[in-house]
Structure 1
Amino acid sequence: MKNRKIIYGIVSLAFAATSLPSCFVAKKYQRPEIEIQDQYRDVNTNDSSTLAAMPWEELFTDTNLTSLINEALDNNLDLLMAVERVNAAEAYYKQGKAGYLPTLAIAGSGQRVEYGDNTLSGVSNSYDGGIYHQYDLSASVTWEADIWGKIRSNKRASQATYLKSEASRRAVQSTLVATMASAYFQLVALDAQAKVTSQTVTNRKEGLETMISLKNAGRVTQAAVKQTEAQLYTTEILLIDIKENINLLENTISLLLGRNSGTIKRSSLDDQALNVELSTGFPSQLLRNRPDVILAEYNFRNAFELTNVAKSSFYPTLSMSASGGFQTLDFDNWFNSNALISNAIANLTQPIFNKRSIRTQYEVAKANQEEAKYNLKKALLSASKEVSDALYSYKTQQERYKIRQKELDALSKAVEYSEELLNNGYQNTTYIEVLTARTNALSSEISTINTKYQQLNSIVELYLSLGGGWK
Structure 2
Amino acid sequence: MRTIYKLSFVAFSAITLQSCIATKDYQKPEVWNNASFNTNTVVRDSAVQQVVAWRDVFTDSILQGYISTALENNLDVRTALENIKQAESYVAQGKFGYLPTFNVGANYTHSVNSINTQFGRILGQRQRLDQFDITGSLGWEADIWGKITSRKLAAEATYLQTVAAHQAIKTQLISLVASNYYNLLALDAQKQVALKTIENRTKSLETNKALKDAGRVTEVAVKQTEAQLLSAQALLLDIDNNIKVQENSLSILQGLFPKEMERSSFDGQQLAVNGVEGVSIEVLNNRPDVLASELGFRNAFELTNVAKASFYPTLKLTASGGLQSVDFEKLFDPTSFFASIIGGITQPILNGRQIRTQYEISLSNQEKAFINYKQTVLNASKEISDALYAIDTNTKKLVLKEQEATAYSTAVQYSQELLNNGMASYLEVLTATESELNAQLNIITTQYNLWNANIQLYKAMGGGVE
Q: Structure 1-normalised TM-score? A: 0.93
Matched, 1:208 2:181: no
Given that 1:157 and 1:305 are in contact with CA atoms closer than 8 Å, whether structure 2 keeps it comes out as: yes
Preserved contact between residue 115 and residue 124 of structure 2 (Cα < 8 Å): no
Supply the distance in 2 between the matched residues of 1:144 and 1:307 (Cα, whole angstroms).
20
From 451, 455, 467, the counterpart of 2:450: 455
Structure 2 CA distance, aligned partners of 1:151 and 1:161? 15
CA distance in 1, matches of 2:91, 2:274: 40
Structure 2 portions without partners, runs of 5+? none
For 1:360, the equivalent position in structure 2 comes to 357
Work out the CA distance in 2 between the residues paired with 1:276 and 1:159: 34
Paired residues of 1:49 and 1:280 also in contact (CA < 8 A):
no
Shift of 1:344: 1.1
Of the candidates 63, 83, 88, which is equivalent to residue 90 of structure 1? 88
> Which residue number corresponds to residue 404 of structure 1?
401
The structure-2 alpha-carbon separation of the partners of 1:411 and 1:98, relative to structure 1 and needing over 3 Å to count, comes to same
> What residue is the counterpart of 1:137 in the other structure?
134
- Percent identity for Structure 1 against Structure 2: 44
Deviations 1:130-173, CA, capped at 9 Å, x for gaps: 54432111111100000000000010011111111111111101
C-alpha deviation, 1:427, in angstroms? 2.1
2: CA distance, partners of 1:90 / 1:124 = 62
Q: Which of 293, 297, 306 pairs up with 2:294?
A: 297
Classify 1:21/1:349 alpha carbon distance in 2 versus 1 (closer, same or farther; 3 Å). closer
Q: CA deviation at 1:246?
A: 0.4
2:348 maps to 351
Equivalent residue letter for 1:245: N
2:383 corresponding residue in structure 1? 386
> What runs of 5+ residues in structure 1 fail to find an aligned partner?
none
Q: Identify if the C-alpha distance between structure 1 residues 317 and 276 changes in structure 2 by more than 3 Å, giving closer, same or farther.
A: closer
User: Which SS does the other structure have where 1:67 is aligned?
Assistant: helix
Structure 1 pair 422–7 and aligned structure 2 pair: CA distance change class (3 A)? farther
1:97-108 alignment to 2 at 5 Å?
A: 97-108=95-106
Quote the residue 1:327 is aligned against.
324
Question: Counterparts in 2 of 1:7-86, with a 5 A limit?
Answer: 8-37=5-34, 39-41=36-38, 42=40, 43-48=42-47, 50=49, 53-86=51-84
Asked if 2 retains the 8 angstrom alpha-carbon contact of 1:36 and 1:284, the reply is: no
Deviation at 1:34, TM superposition (A): 2.4
Q: Residue 243 of structure 1 aligns to which amino acid in structure 2?
A: D
2:437 alignment counterpart: 442
Q: Summarize deviations over 1:41-100 as a string: whole Å, max 9, x none.
A: 3324344363x6110011110000000000000000011101111111111111112111
Taking the aligned partners of 1:64 and 1:96, their CA distance within structure 2 comes to 45
Measure, in 1, the Cα distance between the counterparts of 2:278 and 2:304: 36
TM-superposed deviation, 1:101: 0.9
Alignment of 1:122-161 (within 5 A): 130-161=127-158
Number of residue equivalences: 463
Q: Distance in 1 between matches of 2:398 and 2:279?
A: 26
- Cα distance in 2 for partners of 1:60, 1:171 equals 18
* C-alpha distance 124-444 of structure 1, shift in aligned 2 (>3 A): farther
Alignment check: 8 A CA contact 1:411 1:437 kept: yes
Give the structure-2-normalised TM-score: 0.94
In 2: Cα distance, 1:219 partner to 1:284 partner? 69
Instruction: Give the secondary-structure state (helix, strand or coil) at the position aligned to 1:100.
Output: coil
Task: Provide the C-alpha distance between the structure 2 equivalents of 1:8 and 1:447, rounded to a whole number of angstroms.
Answer: 89
214-223 vs 68-77, which deviates more? 214-223
* 1:20, distance to aligned residue in structure 2 (A): 3.1
- Residue type at the aligned position of 1:32: P
Q: Which residue of 2 aligns with 1:429?
A: 424
Shift of the alpha carbon at 1:35? 3.5
Distance 1:453 1:119, change over 3 A: same
Instruction: Quote the Cα distance in structure 2 between the aligned partners of 1:446 and 1:49.
Output: 40
* Distance in 1 separating the partners of 2:401 and 2:122: 108
Structure 1 stretch 40-49 or stretch 217-226: which is displaced more?
Answer: 40-49
Q: Distance between the aligned counterparts of 2:113 and 2:173, measured in 1?
A: 72
